[in-house]
Structure formats: C-alpha cells, structure tokens
Amino acid sequence: MTAQILDGKAAAQALCDQLQTRIAKLKENCRPRLAVVLVGDDEASHIYVRNKQKKAASVGIDCQVIELADGIGENALLSIIDELNRDSHTHGIIVQLPLPRHLDELKIISAISPDKDVDGFTPYNTGLMCCNHPQGFISATPLGVLKLLETTQVDLRGKHAVVIGRSNIVGKPMARLLLNRDCTVTITHSHSVNLPAITRQADILVSACGQPKMITSEWIKEGAIVLDVGITRFEGNICGDVDFDDVKNKASFITPVPGGVGPMTIACLLSNTLEAFLRAPECECSAHHLHHSHHCCRH
Ligand code: NAD
C-alpha cells in the first residue's frame, strides 16, 4: 500500500483563504489583533513567531510581537499580560513557549484572559475542551491534526488512536480531542514499555515526541493513518518523528514534515484569533455604532 499524503500546506492555505475573505468583509479599521509575547532569544521560537506574523498579515490580522529580554521578572511579565487582557483592541494573546527556566509557564499562561487565549492553553479552556464544550478555544496544533484527519473522511468512531507524547500543549489535548470523537485512545510517553507493540495496534497514530525518524514501518499496522507532529531541526532542515519514506509504504494516509501539521497549526491559531475577535463584546467600530454593536462588523 502507498499512503495518500495529507497535504497540510494546501489545507492550511484553504483555511487561510476563508479567513482572509471573512476579514476582508469587516468594516475598515476593524481588524482582529493578535499579541504575541516572545521572551528571550530562542532561535526556533523566533522563527515560529516570524512565520505566524507573516501568515497573520496575509489574512488581514494585525500581529503585534512584544519582544522581552530573557531576564524579565515574573511580575513584569504578568503585568504586560494584564495590560493586554484589558486592551480592547487586542483580541488574542499568545505567549510563545518555551519560556526561560526562571519563569513558571503554567502561572504565566494562566494569567491570559480565557476570552483571548487563542492558543487554548489556559486551564479554563483546557477544561472546556475536556468537557467537549464548544465555547472554549482548542489548542491550534491538536486542532490542526484533527482537521487534517477529517480530510480523510474516515469514520473515527471506535478507531484505536495511539498518541505518542503527553505534553499539555500537544499530546494530552490531542488525546482528548480524539476521545471526544469517539476513538478508543491510548496515550504513550517516554516511560511506556514496548512502544512498537502498542503503536502496531493503532488505526490512527499521532506522534508528538520530537524523536527524529523514530517510527519505522515495523511500528505500524497496515493501513494506519499516521500524523506526525514532531519537529526536530538540524542544519536548517526539519525532520519529523516518522521515517516518512519507510512508513508511507504501509500507511493509508500520512502527513509529511515539513508541509503537514506545521502549517495547519498556524492556520488554526489565526482561525481562533478571528473567533476571539467575533466574540469580543466591543471592537473599534462598535464604539461609533453603539446600537449596532453586535452587528457592525460581524458576519
Ligand atoms: P515535549 O518535550 O513537551 O513532550 C514530548 C513528549 O514526548 C513527552 O510527553 C515525552 O514523554 C514523550 N517522549 C519523548 N521521548 C519519547 C520516546 N522515545 N518515546 C515515547 N515518548 C517519548 O514536546 P511538545 O511540546 O509536546 O512537542 C512534541 C514535538 O512536537 C516536538 O518535536 C515539537 O517540536 C513538535 N511540535 C510541533 C508543532 C507543530 O506545529 N507541528 C507544534 C508543537 C510542537
């Protein structure tokens, strides 16, 4: 079997085209704004933020990057987030991870107003997602994976989904989303014993562990759907967790790296930002049209 390739670049572009069309219909001077808080000089983080900024601009979302020194104190960072929470012109806020070690990630993330938490990382939005509640924001990476999975049109109910990795930002929310879609879910991690024996049972395998080319065809059930979230950088290239050339001969669908999950992550983040904007109680133009505040720029 040769797998069909799940083209994340094309799917992300289609989603961004839709966002651009919707944003172009908003009133002039009425644009969603995303604030990206970037602490320190982690090279990969700077690349991710630049990509987000470029893509945001291309769909018509203002993206304000707030670059802060590596040594910033917790209180100073919390007060910047507080300011952004109160700023009615800012609709989405993300804090680029990882943060320098002296900062408590969960404490910083938890300070973001849930209404502006377009990464879906706050405990509040995580809780809503766990309850399968439609109101929260779902983390962009697992949401992007799910959207790619849906393009296969395979009925997910009852499928055995195995997730490799249990981080708060990818593995755990991914497992929850698959559970919400009625999959039978197994979560694995670095302490899991005999991982290939577990992954061989997977109808759907999502890998998010950052171990380059760890997953070979031996780890895969014939006809499995394989979604590779992993990104490892070397010599200017990036590599996934899956040995693509080997696994593509056994899987039914597979995501490439690059060009799979990565572009979907950014598109879903921008989609969440537009959603936050549309849900905001007020925006630029509503100030001038109080009576129509819920209609002036919403479609
Ligand atoms: P993380 O380091 O927080 O978590 C990694 C997880 O993988 C841990 O739960 C760990 O237990 C597990 N793990 C590590 N080695 C393992 C092994 N040998 N076998 C089984 N499990 C193992 O990382 P993260 O933030 O969850 O990101 C995971 C990967 O996904 C990274 O490569 C990261 O760069 C990538 N990522 C990609 C996107 C994207 O948009 N494509 C977004 C976020 C993260």
CATH of the domain at 45: 3.40.50.10860
Question: Does 171 lie in the same domain as 80?
Answer: no
Mean pLDDT of 10-19: 98
Of 121, 176, 229, best ligand 1 pocket probe by most atoms within 8 Å of the beta carbon: 229
**Dist CA 113 CA 133 (whole Å):** 18
Residue 64 in domain:
yes
Atom of ligand 1 nearest to the CA of 192: 20
Task: Give the residue numbers spanning the domain of 107.
Answer: 29-113
CA–centroid distance, 165 to ligand 1, in Å, is 5
147 & 238 share domain: yes
**235 pLDDT tier (thresholds 50, 70, 90):** confident
Catalytic, out of 117, 119, 203, 243: 119
Could you give the CA distance from residue 121 to residue 137 in angstroms, rounded to a whole number?
8
How many angstroms separate the alpha carbon of residue 145 from the centre of ligand 1?
14
| 245 assigned to some structural domain | yes
Q: How far apart are CA 143 and CA 180, in angstroms?
A: 12
Does 107 share its domain with 145? no
Residue 285 lies in a domain: no
Residue 189 CA: nearest ligand 1 atom is 21
Residue 33 covered by a domain: yes
Distance CA 52, CA 63 (A): 8
- Which residue owns the Cα nearest ligand 1 atom 4? 167
Bridge partners, 65 (sequence order): 36
Judge whether 27 counts as a catalytic residue: no
Q: Average of pLDDT values for 176-194?
A: 98
Distances (CA, A) of 297 to 97, 275, 284, 287: 32, 13, 9, 11
Distances (CA, A) of 266 to 37, 48, 61: 16, 9, 12
Residue 131 lies in a domain: no
- The whole-number average pLDDT for the span 264-278 is 97
Q: Is 52 a catalytic residue?
A: yes
Tens-digit pLDDT profile for residues 113-168: 999 999 999 999 999 999 999 999 999 999 999 999 999 999 999 999 999 999 99
What total of structural domains would you count in the chain? 2
Residue 234 in any domain: the answer is yes
Neighbours of 107 (CB within 10 A): 12
CA neighbours closer than 13 Å in the CB half-sphere of residue 138: 27
pLDDT band at 29 (very low <50, low <70, confident <90, very high): confident
Looking at the fold, whether 148 and 249 belong to one and the same domain comes out as yes
Whole-number Å distance between alpha carbons of 6 and 144: 12
CA 111 to chain centre: 19
Q: In the predicted model, what is the mean pLDDT of residues 200-208?
A: 98
Two tokens at 120? 């879906």
Same domain? 88 vs 149: no
Q: Is residue 79 part of a domain?
A: yes
Residues within a 6 A CB radius of ligand 1: 141, 164-167, 169-171, 188-190, 192, 195, 208-211, 229-232, 261-262, 265
Residue 281 has a pLDDT of 83
CA–CA distances in Å: residue 234 to residues 8, 45, 155, 212, 237: 21, 15, 37, 10, 5
For residue 86, is it within any domain? yes
Q: In ligand 1, which atom is closest to the CA atom of 264?
A: 40
| Whether residue 62 has pLDDT greater than 80 | yes
pLDDT number for residue 291: 35
243 is annotated as an active-site residue: no
The rounded distance, in Å, linking the Cα atoms of 279 and 268 is: 16
What CATH code is carried by the domain that includes residue 157? Answer: 3.40.50.720
